[in-house]
Structure 1
Amino acid sequence: MERENIVSNPYLAPGAALSDAPGDTYQPRVFAWKGRLGRLRYLSYLCCAYLLSMVVLGLAGAALSVARRLPDPASWEMLLSIVFYIPVLGLSLAWAKRRFNDVNRSGWLVLLLVIPVVNFFVGLYLAFAGGSEGANDYGPPPAPNPVLVKIVGLLLPLLIIGGTVAVMYPAIKLAQERMDAGSSSGRL
């Protein structure tokens, strides 16, 4: 019926839904390629992917260590790691592309993530650059983050700080013991 009205009356305005209205948002999906992704949601998705990959690879390593009857357990573990890493890499690149879209940049900039050293700075940019206010060339802004996304997104910095402390603490303790041993023997 509506189609007939548009055809019969060329001056009739089209019935398109406009998405440039202020306050218009969309709910991002985890496995989508298009759209925008905010900073906190990007960090929470990466954190979940990292934790999931550690759990899966840990379980695979444990299963392979139990099954020592395989011809070469290390090769099987490497094969499992590669097979699992490919989808995680694809998701990470899709999320980075959507994050670039959120700051109104081309998704092709995701290729900068494969360049050593540059990828560090690009990762910092993706983590800290604010998204465009309102709709941009890549669509409306994502909906506000739910509580779970906020909790998981804040876990990433805690994991990084905790991991750094866990790695550095034994080294600092060893250096302190050597300094104490050196000063007690009269050497500096």
Structure 2
Amino acid sequence: MAEHFKIVFEGQLRTGVELETARLNLAQLFKTDVSGVDRLFTGNPVTIKRSLTRDDAQRYLAALNDAGVEGRIEPEQPVTLSLDEVAENAPQRPAFDPTTSPYAPPRTPVAQDWPAVGELKVFSIQGRIGRLRYLAWSLALVGVAMLVAALCVGVLSVSLVAGGLLGTVAFVAFVVVSVQIGAQRLHDAGMSAWLLLLNLVPVVGSFFPIVMMAVPGSTGPNEYGPPPPSNTPRVKVLAVLWLVVLVLALVAGVMGGLESIQEEVEATTSAYEQALPYDDDASDTNDTEQPTVPVDPVDSGDSSDSNDDQ
């Protein structure tokens, strides 16, 4: 008879995983609502899956670990049982409270159940936005900033104080909104908004915005909330336009750099040619030297013969 195994779970969380995050992940794993997995966190041993081969048991255990909980594999006789067959009238034990265990990591209070998708809030550091919406919002922010900058220039022509004050307020507002949408983009990838400080680090800050635009978001809920709503056609169009603008700006920068290098090389070559020494004395000597006319031997012979005849 082939050996079979079962997966047993007692409500243990992996290190650094919040209880609410684990509940949401398990609900997505078992394709049920969040309240349906609360029975797993009573502190009692619960058999989640039975009659598994060793390889299948390892895969189920890896799926639980990815969801943020700890389980174990135990051998058993071949029996079929699913999560829905867990007895509701099982002997109740005191609920396991991780905060009372001296070996448990710190936990935060259990939050309310999150909706299927999150609410969009532009002027907030809470929530999540995907890559396309981040690009679309960035394009809109840059467009508004350009209009405000043109307004500041117009005010500066009238009053330096008013123009400078308006420009300062506009710059601060631009930075604040940039931080807010950047924080939501990092939250979507499951990262802390404090990573925005990497933009201030030399070298790293030059390519970190590219990372923010490229890193994918979490497929389901994470510790920062539920996934963002689906992208609308308008968001997709704005995102593509922003990518086109970025590519054109990159190409223009590269072409400008190549032209600067070419001008510098030409200037250096011209200066080097002008610094080369010339042999003026030799050229003057060659110009003033008179050429010698060779004597034709035939003409000399004819003259001597003429003299002899005389």
Provide the TM-score with structure 2 as the length reference: 0.44
Task: Name which of 148, 155, 180 aligns with 1:94.
Answer: 180
Corresponding position: 1:41 with 2:133: yes
CA contact (8 A) 2:199 2:208 kept: yes
Query: Take 1:102 and 1:76, find their aligned partners in 2: how far apart are those partners?
Result: 39
Corresponding position: 1:27 with 2:119: yes
Task: Give the number of equivalent residue pairs.
Answer: 156
- Residue number in structure 1 paired with 2:113: 18
The structure that is strand-richer by fraction is 2
Query: Take 1:100 and 1:171, find their aligned partners in 2: how far apart are those partners?
Result: 32
- Residue number in structure 2 paired with 1:138: 224
The Cα of 1:27 is off from its aligned counterpart by 3.3
The one-letter code of the counterpart of 1:159 is: V
Query: 1:24-173 maps to which residues of 2 (within 5 A)?
Result: 24-65=116-157, 67=158, 70=159, 73=160, 77-165=163-251
**SS of the residue 2:205 aligns to:** helix
* Shift in alpha-carbon separation, 1:123–1:35, aligned structure 2, 3 A: same
Deviations 1:125-156 (A, max 9, x none): 11000001111111110010111111111111
* Shift in alpha-carbon separation, 1:171–1:124, aligned structure 2, 3 A: closer
The structure that is helix-richer by fraction is 1
CA contact (8 A) 2:127 2:224 kept: yes
Query: Take 1:130 and 1:59, find their aligned partners in 2: how far apart are those partners?
Result: 37
The one-letter code of the counterpart of 2:113 is: L
* Shift in alpha-carbon separation, 1:78–1:64, aligned structure 2, 3 A: closer
RMSD: 3.0
The Cα of 1:19 is off from its aligned counterpart by 2.9
Query: Take 2:225 and 2:215, find their aligned partners in 1: how far apart are those partners?
Result: 18
CA contact (8 A) 2:155 2:163 kept: no
The Cα of 1:112 is off from its aligned counterpart by 1.7
Provide the TM-score with structure 1 as the length reference: 0.69
Identity %: 29
Structure 1 stretches lacking a partner, 5+ long: 1-10, 183-188
Larger mean CA deviation between 75-84 and 133-142 belongs to 75-84
* Shift in alpha-carbon separation, 1:165–1:77, aligned structure 2, 3 A: farther
* Shift in alpha-carbon separation, 1:172–1:106, aligned structure 2, 3 A: closer
Could you say which structure has the larger radius of gyration?
2
Query: Take 2:194 and 2:119, find their aligned partners in 1: how far apart are those partners?
Result: 23
Bigger relative contact order, structure 1 or 2, given CA contacts below 8 A and separation 6+?
1
Query: Take 2:188 and 2:244, find their aligned partners in 1: how far apart are those partners?
Result: 25
Query: Take 1:143 and 1:112, find their aligned partners in 2: how far apart are those partners?
Result: 28
The Cα of 1:117 is off from its aligned counterpart by 2.2
Query: Take 2:202 and 2:177, find their aligned partners in 1: how far apart are those partners?
Result: 20
The one-letter code of the counterpart of 1:52 is: V
